[in-house]
Amino acid sequence: MIPTWSTFFLFPIIKGAALLISYISNTCSFPEPLKEEEEEELLKKLDLGDETARNILIERNLRLVAHIAKKFDNFNIDVEDLISIGSIGLIKAIKTFDRTKKTRLGTYAAKCIENEILMYIRTLKKMRKEVFLYEPIDSDSEGNEIRLIDIIGINEGDVVADEVEGIIEQDKLREKVKKLSGRERKIVEMRYGLCDGIRRTQREISKALGISRSYVSRIEKRALSKLQKDMASEGYH
Partner 1 sequence: MQANEEEKVTMVKCILCKKKAIQGLNILGSFICHECERRIVALNVADEGYDYYIEQLKLIWHRS
> Using CB under 8 A as the criterion, which residues of the chain lie in contact with partner 1 when the complex forms?
23, 28-31, 51, 54-55, 58-59, 62, 80-81, 83-85, 87-88, 91-92, 95-96, 116, 119-120, 122-123, 181, 211-212, 215, 218-219, 222
Interatomic CA distance for residues 60 and 74, integer angstroms: 26
Half-sphere exposure of 100 (CA within 13 A, CB side): 1
By C-beta, is 148 or 211 nearer to partner 1?
211
Closest approach, Cβ 80 to partner 1, in A, equals: 5
Using the minimum distance from each CB to partner 1, give the nearer residue, 161 or 208. 208
Q: Say if residues 220 and 192 touch (Cβ distance below 8 Å).
A: no
Q: In terms of CB distance, is 39 or 81 closer to partner 1?
A: 81
Of 92 and 172, which CB lies nearer to partner 1 in the complex structure?
Answer: 92
Indicate the DSSP class of residue 29: S
Residue 37 backbone dihedrals phi, psi, to 5 degrees: -70, -35
146 sits in which H/E element? strand 145-147
Work out the number of other CB atoms within 10 angstroms of the CB of residue 167. 8
- Smallest separation (angstroms) from partner 1 to the CB of 45: 15
Backbone angles phi, psi at 140, to 5 degrees: -85, -175
Q: How far is the CB of 185 from partner 1 (least distance, A)?
A: 14
User: Minimum distance from CB of 140 to partner 1 (Å)?
Assistant: 26
Please state the closest distance from residue 172 (CB atom) to partner 1, in A. 23
When the beta carbons of 88 and 231 are compared against partner 1, the nearer one is: 88
* Residues 184, 154: Cα–Cα separation, whole Å: 27
Provide the residue type at 22 as one letter.
S
